Amino acid sequence: MVKSMLYVNPATGNDRGAGNQYSPFKTLTRALQQSRGETRIQLAPGVYNQASGEIFPLIVPAGVTVLGNESDKGKGIVIEGSGSYFSRSKARQNITIELSDDAQLRGVTVTNRAGRGTAVWIESTAPYVANNTLANSAREGLFATGTAHPVIEGNLFIRNNANGISIAKNAKGEIRGNVCQDTGYGIAISDDAAPVVVDNRIFANRSGMVLSNRSRPVLRNNTIENNSKDGLVAIGNAIPDLGSPQDNGGNILRGNGQYDLHNATKKMLVSVGNQINPTRVKGSIDFVAVDLPIAPTPSPTPTPNPTPTPTPAPGSETGLTDIARHWAEVFIAAMVSKGFISGFPDRTFRPDQSITRAQYAALIAKTFPLLFKRSEIYFWDVDPRFWAASAIGQASRMGFISGFPDGSFRPEHNLTRVQAIVSLVNGLGLTGGNTNLLFAYSDRAQIPSYATDEVATATQRWMVVNYPQKNILNPMLDSTRAEVSAFIYQALVATNKAPRISSPYIVEPNF
């Protein structure tokens, strides 16, 4: 929430002015000196450099937003200069701007032409960098280091001499929807850095992306093409995540001068669901072919409005011996009281045990006796005498679960958290989620593309329960019996079939 606005105009402003729309400051330096948390600084078109009175480096305080024109990615709003900065992790540097925690830089052009110059520096903070042009710097457009955790989204990195983006040390964060072109390396990831890199276009560089040391980035849906040397390079002990059987990589590597994928490490890289020509790679690569479940198409239903008043959490008079003081005790007890779940003969529930697809189908069939949406499907790996065969058929016909393209169901495979969420949303025919709600999750880039709408819908309807941290979804981890109990109970609440109960782990949609 913005608490104050400051305005800057390098042509007509005066640093002795009030800094408002009618009497703007002349320099961004002055505006930053006057800023406190939750301040937005609006920049007018012009050049912000030493000649106009700027003092570099510019330090953007915590919670402060520097805003230009996002729709044009900062065209005509140019911040250019360099100052000496001592980095705790990288020693002496020449930088233009440093971003503090929760600072935002949006809609400006930043250039640092000084020797070894970097336009934007991020040191162990979590800022937001969006819709800028970071161009023509002597070294890189952006450098994130230490324990930085930035979101770098929708920027243009062009004609930087060394790298468009450098991620080093133990930095993580999210690099999404950027363009990196006409640079040495489009993106360079080193040391123990492990960012999530999604939906970027990386082309016309010397090499597209270079991974070194022990870096572990997650790469999804990037296009790396037409770079003069290699597309993606891994050296040292770097191991990129290029997809899994549950989450295709979706990366496109093509048309690069030497190799599209060059594995110079001693370990085999695994590629799942990427567009890579095996004749255009060097090094040890395991190309895994995998079938993904076919998501059912939900039938539209009226949008429920789950607004019942929370009721006290049910007691734990369940007879189960291993749920007392468990984080999901209230959900498990509520499901037991309704007769939907029960424990094992030894009076345990085993809340942290993974749940299989067959076990999940049995729970769905018992909890949601809904009308069938689809005709019966026969799965070749589900024997009619299998203990869960009837439940699998029922859950499938109701639209909660599907098989795989090869006609299998794989009943003994574990169910992931995102599969459980997608199943409940589709089976109940829920729609209308706002994908902006996914910003509630720090690991949102790990949500498969096929599941974003469903996760957003579940979040909007208070169906998502995350333990121990509400902002970490862990979509690809196996679901536990406790987690599925919580998801299903919240689905009952969302459809007005159960009263709300209190839990600190229910994700509340931030509208």
How far, in Å, CA of 333 to CA of 477, rounded?
Answer: 24
Q: Which amino acid is at 154?
A: G
CA pair distance 189, 175, nearest whole angstrom: 11
Written as six digits, the tokens of 350 are 């085993």
Longest dimension (CA), the chain: 84
Q: Cis omega before residue 57 (within 30°)? A: yes
Query: Quick check: 117 and 96 in contact, CB under 8 A?
Result: yes
Residues of the chain under the 50 pLDDT cut? 291-316, 511
pLDDT confidence of residue 211 = 98
Using alpha carbons, select from 73, 30, 19, 28 the residue that is nearest to residue 47: 28
Q: What is the pLDDT of residues 18-53, one digit of tens each?
A: 999 999 999 999 999 999 888 999 999 999 999 999
Task: Note the residue count of the chain.
Answer: 511
- Phi, psi (deg, nearest 5) at residue 438: -65, -15
DSSP 436: G
- Helix (H) or strand (E) segment spanning residue 247: strand 247-248
Instruction: Please give the C-alpha separations between residue 145 and each of 112, 125, 170, in angstroms, as whole numbers.
Output: 18, 9, 7
In three state form, how does the secondary structure of 398-415 look? CCCCCCCCCCCCCCCCEC
Catalogue all structural domains in the chain, each as residue range(s) with its CATH number. Answer: 38-205 (2.160.20), 329-494 (no CATH)
Respond yes or no on whether the N-terminal peptide bond of residue 293 is cis (omega within 30° of 0). Answer: no
- The whole-number pLDDT of residue 432 equals 84
Q: Which residues of 197-232 are buried (b: 16+ CB within 10 A; e: fewer)?
A: bbbbbbbebbbbbbbbbebbbbbbbbbbbbbebbbb
Among candidates 189, 187, 179, which has minimal Cα distance to 206? 187
The count of other CB atoms within 10 Å of the CB of residue 329 is 22
pLDDT digits (tens, 9 = 90+) for 79-107: 999 999 999 999 999 999 999 999 999 99
- Give the sign of the dihedral formed by CA 9, CA 11, CA 14, CA 17: negative
Residues with Cβ within 8 Å of residue 264, at least 6 apart in sequence: 233, 234, 235, 282, 283
Q: How much is the pLDDT for 394?
A: 93
DSSP symbols for 84-144: EEEETTTEEEEEEEEE-TT-EEES-EEE--STTEEEEEEES---EEES-EEES-SSEEEEE
Give the list of residues 6+ apart from residue 436 with CB closer than 8 angstroms, or none. Answer: 456
Helices (H), 223-338: 329-337
Contacts of 170 (CB under 8 A, 6+ apart): 146, 147, 191, 192, 193
pTM summary value: 0.68
pLDDT for 318 equals 60
Cα distances (Å, whole numbers) of residue 45 to 50, 69, 78, 140, 275: 16, 9, 8, 24, 42
